[in-house]
Amino acid sequence: MLKKNSSVEDQANAVEQQRNRGSKVVYGQPIQLRHQFTGKYIHFSKKEMAELATKTMRVELQAYNAKQAQFRIMPRYKVRSEGDVVCIGDQVVLESFKSHGQYISVSEDVFPEDSVYAFRHEINFSVVHSTFTVYRQACAYDAQKEYLTPNGCVRFFHKEIDAYICAEGQFNDSVMQDVHLRVRGIDYSIPKTVFPSTSAITYWQIEAKNSMFPGGFLQWETPVRFQHMITQLYLTVKKDGKYTLTLTDDRNDTGTVFKLYPVVKKNEPIPKGSYCRIKHVITGYWMQALQGVSFILRRKTDLHQHNAIPEEVPRETLVQGTSTAFSDIEWTTAVMKKVGLSEQMMFADAFTIQNVEPENLTNFSFMCGYIPLLQNLIQYALKELEAWMFIDGRPIKKRQKLVRNLLGIRSMVTLLQAKWECVPYRSTMIMVQIYCVLNAYLKGDSRKNELWLARHNVFFLHQISLKGPVGQRATIMLTELLDGNRKVIDRMSEKQVDYIIELLAENMDYRYLDLLGVLCVCQDVAIRRHQKYIAEAWLKSTKKPIYDTKVGQAIGEDSNVIYVSTNRKTWTSLNEFTNKVGGTSEEQLKFLHSQLNLMSKICQNRNEMAIQILTAELKYLTWDEAMLCLTNPELPDDLRAQYCKLIIVLFVDVPGNISTAEDVLMTMEYDNIVTNNMRSDSEKILDKVVDSGELNTHLEQLKRWIMEFLSENRFMVLRLVYLLVTYCCYDTKVALREVLEPLLGILDGGTSATEEEMELFHSSGRYQMSLENNAVIDAKYQAIDLVLNIRFNNRLEAFAGLFKEVHSMKDHDHPLSPIISGNFEESSISRYRDDVMDRLGEIVDNTAILQPGVLVDILSDISAYKYDNLVMKATHLLVRYYSAFENLLSRAITAKILVNDESLKNLKKVRNRIPLLSLVVNSAINPDNAQKICPLLDELIRNFVQVTLVALARHQC
């Protein structure tokens, strides 16, 4: 009820404020003072004392309205009285509406140098009043939305070269990059480039020369100053041989005065979004883009100092000597141009005055408030800053960019490098919180954020060796920095990998395993160089930084029970280990989980060397062990999921297994086409291409277990089922239907829930963004895409079978033989329409794998998720589903049926080579892969590209 009443009161206040908008303020009238940057109200505290004037009460900002936020505006002198209109320039005092005789006051003392508010006066609540002068800031009518006002925030965009006037730095600190033009061309394939930049390095505040508080609107040719908002310095002109544009902190410098001239002569105030030319008042020169002169980014020595390793750092030889490998990473690829001055006004040098949007200005103001706190070691600010970079758990790129623009990252790295003289516990907590903020800054998909921070990688590599929470947080942050960032991963040297493995052997910390894991796979592309080196250095290490797992019979324990050892001396059953029986810690459980994850990553994309080490040479993981863990219902689901991944990379997705059902097949062999399209359910619909022998036995065992497991409505094995289907382990219609029936129940997501449970599920944010939803929906998409491919391949082959049937019986009395004869007339097609439609209907019915409407319901459900890419995928599959018959006809026209022996021989060669090429595509290009792919490409070029017309004629279709 109180919340409802408060909401009603807020609505009434908003209506009252709107009603009084534009009315004159009179003395004695109650008012509220609202801070523009934060949107909060000035309150006086009833309990807390002021910090400087300890006999007065504290004044603070609060988001809510209350009696403590209401003041009466009163005249300072008796020349005005209550009821008179408050005029611009009047001197007033602010008396509390609740506590008469008490006023807003300003202290005589200032805050000390080490304070966030250094050398500034304190506002308090006292019986002694202070005098304030009224200045006009803006008009009360809506025209201010159309025209520029003094102290407004704008961007200057050069129309000819699509560039913004920028600078880089931080207020109360040195300038990083002086004034320049940063090109940001419009690329319609990247939608964000169509809109104005949100980067704060482009923000400028316009001040009138004569007064900082003139009010009203800015007029053309009015003397103004341009203050860069992130450095809080003024644009000025210096003469060093020639006139150059730079920044200064001296507001009274005569070189800071400029005038704006319209491109088209107008007498009205300066409209937002208008075109202008900028003239320097003292020199009379015009600002221009020096298009032929590039701006060279300044490389300050302090950037390299951040990467220097202190003398006391151990293992110096492991990481030293590589600082430049990271410090010279370019975090932006934008083209830089110099901005200069010209004695003559050039037609092309027109700038667009872009107003900064209120939302971006609010975000900027918020971040600006944190820079002094970062500079003064305020820990709670770091926590709030970390939370500010997220909305509903999602990282906000605009806000992360501001942390980078205002050099908040550099300030935090400087704090990490400082020699702390305060209480050790306090310094540790501050450093831990800084790493939490850096980790939040790296969330999302901004490569610029990652590359900007990656210049300090050598320093972070030292930090991960620290004991306790600082080293742990540094490792987590470095893992996030490297994850998915190929440019940084490629710069990691073997010495640095050895350094991490040495730390792992000393501390047995699972975080080092996670760090090694991100080096092996980048965005699903295997980094073979790191995979092989880590496999050798980690698995064959003499210190054995690994937990051993064995089947019971191999160590003299119970048969078919998995045991784990953390010290290779004592053994504990895996069930007891995961249930924390016998003192197992949470850290040890996470170590085992991360160990299995790293094993799967070093083998991903068919790394034969790592697979051989794990399964044969050192036998860290055998088929029996992996299968026992996967099928053990007493183990945690996340651990079973890791064993499922390992079975995929070690025993299923391995060299020798070739996927034939994953793609649409457009080439067929004439002799293998079945002429009667009434294919029996037990007849093979897919050609199996997995290795025979032991592998086949493994896959059959997997198939039997999967049928039982799918009935429990689990997503864990979706990827495994997908691979087994693509490798044609379910090669008959009966087998395929058996696995698809429970699989579609999982895809539907509602087969095992009651109506009440489903209603609760839908109302609890089912369709919102989350890591779980992302993984589940991606698995659904892959499974459905595979089903559509199999169905299409079957229909195309059945359609080709109908053609073969008619073609082979054209000399006999086949009902459809006239259609393919050379003298067939289109006018007589109506006589055969019914027969053709009946045969096509039989093809559709006999190749149907799923019940009608099932896929539509599933895809409609997927399209409701709050992921743009998933909605696009679901829509693509819906279009594909409903255009199936049209696609069948168009693809049938372009399909090839091979009859020539040489053509069939070449087809077999291509089918054997293409899967190998596909594997190389999914791995990083390196010398090993180059040695594999080059002979294949040479063979394809020799046999299938450089052919003569005579040879081409021999390949009959």
Ranges of beta strands (E only) in 33-152 are 41-49, 57-62, 70-75, 91-96, 103-110, 121-126, 132-133
pLDDT at 350 exceeding the cut of 90:
yes
**CB 212, CB 245: distance < 8 Å:** no
164 and 56: one domain? no
Q: Are residues 476 and 391 in the same domain?
A: yes
Confidence band for 220, pLDDT divided at 50, 70 and 90: very high
In angstroms, the CA 790 to CA 805 distance is 22
Q: Which residues of 705-741 are buried (b: 16+ CB within 10 A; e: fewer)?
A: ebeebbeeebbbbbbbbbbbbbbbbbbbbebbeebbe
- State the greatest distance between any 2 C-alpha atoms of the chain, in Å, as a whole number: 120
User: Using one digit for the tens of pLDDT, what is the confidence trace for 674-686?
Assistant: 765 445 544 554 4
CATH of the domain at 277: 2.80.10.50
Q: How many Å apart are CA 370 and CA 387, to the nearest integer?
A: 13
842, part of any domain: yes
Element of type H or E holding 291: strand 286-294
Cα separation of 788 and 794, whole Å?
A: 10
Q: Is residue 679 one of the residues assigned to a domain? A: no
Q: Taking a C-beta distance cutoff of 8 angstroms, is the pair 563, 557 a contact?
A: yes
**How many Cβ atoms sit within 10 Å of the Cβ of residue 840?**
18
Between CA 123 and CA 59 the distance in angstroms is: 6
pLDDT tens track for 160-182: 889 999 999 888 777 888 999 99
> 676 lies in a domain?
no
Q: What is each CA distance from 257 to 37, 154, 253, 280, 437, in whole angstroms?
A: 27, 17, 8, 6, 40
Query: Is residue 687 domain-resident?
Result: no
* Alpha carbon distance 150, 155 (integer Å): 14
Q: Clarify whether residues 263 and 238 are in a common domain.
A: yes
Same domain, 199 and 346: yes
Verify that 248 and 169 share a domain, yes or no: yes
Instruction: Specify whether the CB–CB gap between 478 and 441 falls below 8 A.
Output: no
471 is a domain residue: yes
Rounded to whole angstroms, how far apart are CA atoms 752 and 745? 8
What confidence score (pLDDT) does residue 698 get? 72
**Within this chain, do residues 568 and 439 fall inside the same structural domain, yes or no?**
no
Out of 117, 134, 151, pick the residue that ends a domain: 134
pLDDT of residue 760: 52
What residue numbers bound the domain in which 388 lies?
362-491
What gap in Å lies between CA 776 and CA 794, rounded to an integer? 28
What's the predicted TM-score (pTM) here?
0.70
When pLDDT is averaged across residues 798-805 and rounded to a whole number, the result is 80
Core vs surface per residue 851-867: b (16+ CB within 10 A) or e: eeebbeebbebbbebeb
Same domain, 77 and 41: yes
681 assigned to some structural domain: no
For the chain, the domain total comes to: 6
Q: What are phi and psi of 234, to 5 degrees?
A: -100, 145
pLDDT for 210: 79
Q: How far apart are CA 699 and CA 694, in angstroms?
A: 9
> Which two structure tokens, joined as six digits, stand for 428?
């540790």
Residues 641 and 504 in one domain: yes
CB-based contact 817:835 (threshold 8 Å):
no
pLDDT at residue 810, as a whole number: 60
Residues 557 and 703 in one domain: no
pLDDT band at 261 (very low <50, low <70, confident <90, very high): very high
- Of 356, 373, 396, the residue at which a domain comes to its end is 356
On whether both 741 and 873 belong to a single domain, the answer is yes
User: Are both 479 and 588 inside the same structural domain?
Assistant: no
Residues 850 and 937 in one domain: no
Q: Tokens in use for 554?
A: 């191999």
Task: Please report the pLDDT score of residue 593 as a whole number.
Answer: 94
Question: Which residue stretches of 727-770 are H helix?
Answer: 733-748, 755-763
Collapsing DSSP to helix, strand or coil, 892 comes out as helix
Helices (H), 306-417: 316-319, 323-327, 358-375, 379-388, 397-405, 408-417
pLDDT tens figures, 367-378: 888 777 776 656
Residue 168: name the closest of 396, 410, 377 by CA. 410
Cα–Cα distances (Å) from 530 to 518, 610, 735, in that order, read: 10, 11, 40
Six token digits for residue 506: 């000393």
Q: Which of 134, 166, 195 is the last residue of a domain?
A: 134
Per-residue pLDDT of 67-124, as tens digits, reads 899 999 999 988 888 989 999 889 999 999 988 899 999 999 998 876 767 788 999 9
- The answer to whether position 814 is within a domain reads yes
- Choice among 558-567, 836-845, 921-930 with the minimum mean pLDDT: 921-930
